[in-house]
Amino acid sequence: MSKTSTISPKSIKDISKSSDQLAHVDLKDLPPLPPPYDDMEKLPGFKALSEEAREKFDASLDDTLVVSHPKPATPEEEERLVKGFFSGLEKLFTKENNWTFLEPLTMSMEHCAKCQTCATDCPVFTMSGENEVYRPTYRAEVMRRLYFKHVKKGTKVFNSFQNGGIDGNWTTISRLMELAYRCTLCRRCAQSCPIGVDNGLITHELRKLFSMEMGISPKELHEKGTVQQLKVGSSTGMNPVAIKDNVDFIDEDMTDRTGIKVETKWDVEGADILLIHNAGEFLAWPENPGAFALMLEAAGVSWTLSSDLVAYDGVNYGLFYDDAQLARVAARHLEVAKKLKVKKIVMGECGHEHKALGVIADRVFNNSIPRESAMTLMEEIVFSGKLSLDPSKNDFPVTLHDPCNITRAMGIVEPQRRVLRHIAPQFREMEPHGTRNYCCGGGSGFAIMSGHNFADWRMHISGRMKMKQILEAFGDTDLYSDEVKKYICAPCSNCKGQIRDLLDFYGAKTTSGIYYGGLVELIVNAMTDLSEPFLDWDMM
């Protein structure tokens, strides 16, 4: 199917009406990026969804697919799915099944004034050219109408009068299923709501309903994510043997590159710190765990990694879609920490690991080992005087991307900045930043999703605001030249994945010399013990 101009729903009830596509974004209607990325004709396009995919899956929401649920083969199957949805909807509002979020969800359902104050704070909505289907209140309003019609006690006439009606047919439900995966759960909209309504939470709960009642979720999060992690040990597919081999190789490489003996500690009982990385680092950015090992050894910290199943991977995709999976993964992390009798767990450079283990798991298990952020640990080490650092080794433009889960959801804002101000002379902020940052566009698991043409959606729409911010942060440099290397410090694995894809997609590395990495790499790069720079631009 090829659409020539933007389509967006004209009413809430349009979601229930059968049509080829409820929404379509025409690239020419997107807000332009700063030069030299302002000519849409010169940028990669948006691949159309294949006819086969449209034939096989429920794909009538927009231009792409995430959940990719097959179309019901029979009316009976369709009816079963609709029943399953409403059964799940009821369970979302019971304390037995959803004590985890019952209060915030109910409050958000019943008090929205529909003032749209949240809308302009949503990077997906604004950078889609304000397509109605991506407005934070659109999916929330559909959900709200279904709640008042099917769950909330009261007279149907009054509820319909107060809250509007909607047809809960399969067209509505299948579109809602996909629409639950067009929001990165960054919760910037919730920050601006004057009443306290949280549309990000409503999206989160919708995802839970589909997963926990109907067993429907993106395979990247479930089968290849939490299920694989619980079974094999990591969502990367690495088992304990593979991870140890991998880290041996990283240690060797670090030793060769730096001339400093690097040896990662495994399963040290009674260590002060159990460090848990996002295991994606070991495969995609091995210099990050390598730099951690180097820094911790140089600072004389008592630390260990765990080779126990699950405990060497801080990933917990359950945070994005399923409370049961969230609890299962977090339980393994906390069990291993207790087994090793460590004083604390330090969460590596991974935003969602921070939130899942740092605050969410806090009320799932009693008497847990305390958790601390790697940002805090790095600040402590940098200012302890245990490392000899030369900031001039980082004398290139550096900006900081704030992972939503670390800043907005946890209030860890300054440690990473104090480090950067200390070791990076040309550090500059993105605007806005800190707790008002914009999501990278890969939040809530999007960074690992590229099925069908979803990567194009991530690049053109959900990641567009971040790309704009990055370019503006380096606006004082020549963006037409790659001569001056510029560094985006993104202390989060998922954010790095998204930023990597953005820079590749827009050709920003070759056009403007924009690179990315974590925070610990910059610290190690500033260490005077290293005769050669740790950052290798050619390899980045």
Partner 1 sequence: MLTAWHVLTYLGAALFLIGGAVRIIRVARMPLHLRWELYPVPHEKGKAHYGGSVLEETDWWLTKREVDHWGELVVMLEEILLLKGVWEHNRSLWYASFPLHFGLYLLIGNIALLIVGGIFELSGVQLGVGSMGQVFSFLLLVVSGVGIAGGVMGLFGALFMLYKRLFVRQLRMYANAGTYLNAIFLGAIFLSALVVFGTDANAPQRLATIYAGLISAGNLPHLTLAMQWHLGICLAFAAYLPLTHMSHLFTKYFMYHDIRWEDTPNTPGGKLEDRIAAQVNQKVSWAAPHIQGGGTKTWVDVATSTGAEDDK
Read off the amino acid at residue 473: A
* Closer residue to partner 1, CB minimum distance, 16 or 525: 16
Structure tokens at 471: 């370019």
- 531 three-class SS: coil
Closest CA to 344 of 401, 304, 285, 402: 304
Helix, strand, or coil (residue 424)? coil
Residue (112 or 439) nearer to partner 1, CB: 112
Distance CA 470, CA 140 (A): 30
User: In this structure, how many other beta carbons lie within 10 angstroms of the beta carbon of residue 262?
Assistant: 23
- The SS3 of residue 408 is coil
Which lies closer to partner 1 via its Cβ, residue 78 or residue 414? 414
Tell the smallest beta-carbon distance from residue 417 to partner 1 (Å): 9
- The residue (of 174 and 325) whose beta carbon lies closer to partner 1 is 325
We find the least distance from the C-beta atom of residue 441 to partner 1, in angstroms, to be: 20
CB of residue 496 to partner 1, shortest distance in Å? 22
**Judged by CB, which is closer to partner 1: 55, or 96?**
96
- In the bound state with partner 1, the residue whose beta carbon lies nearer, of 189 and 526, is 189
Nearer Cβ to partner 1, position 3 or 417?
417
Cα–Cα dist 89/451, whole Å: 28
2 or 367: whose CB is closer to partner 1?
Answer: 367
Beta-bridge partners for 104: none
Instruction: Decide if 260 contacts 295 (C-beta within 8 A).
Output: no
CB of 337 to partner 1, least distance (A): 14
For residue 10, the SS3 value is coil
* Smallest separation, CB 315 to partner 1 (Å): 15
* Mode of pairing for the β-strands spanning 273-276 and 303-304: parallel
Dist. CA 196–CA 140, nearest whole Å: 14
CB of 392 to partner 1, least distance (A): 27
When the beta carbons of 213 and 501 are compared against partner 1, the nearer one is 213
State in angstroms the smallest separation of the CB of 228 from partner 1. 10
Burial of 120 (0-12, 13-18, 19+ CB in 10 A): middle
Q: Rounded to the nearest whole angstrom, what is the least distance from the CB of residue 424 to partner 1 in the complex?
A: 19
3-state class of 516 per DSSP? strand
How far apart are CB 83 and partner 1 at their closest, in Å?
A: 11
Output DSSP code: residue 333. Answer: H
Sign, CA dihedral 222-223-226-230, equals: positive
CA distances from 235 to 108, 312, 315, 414 (A): 33, 11, 7, 31
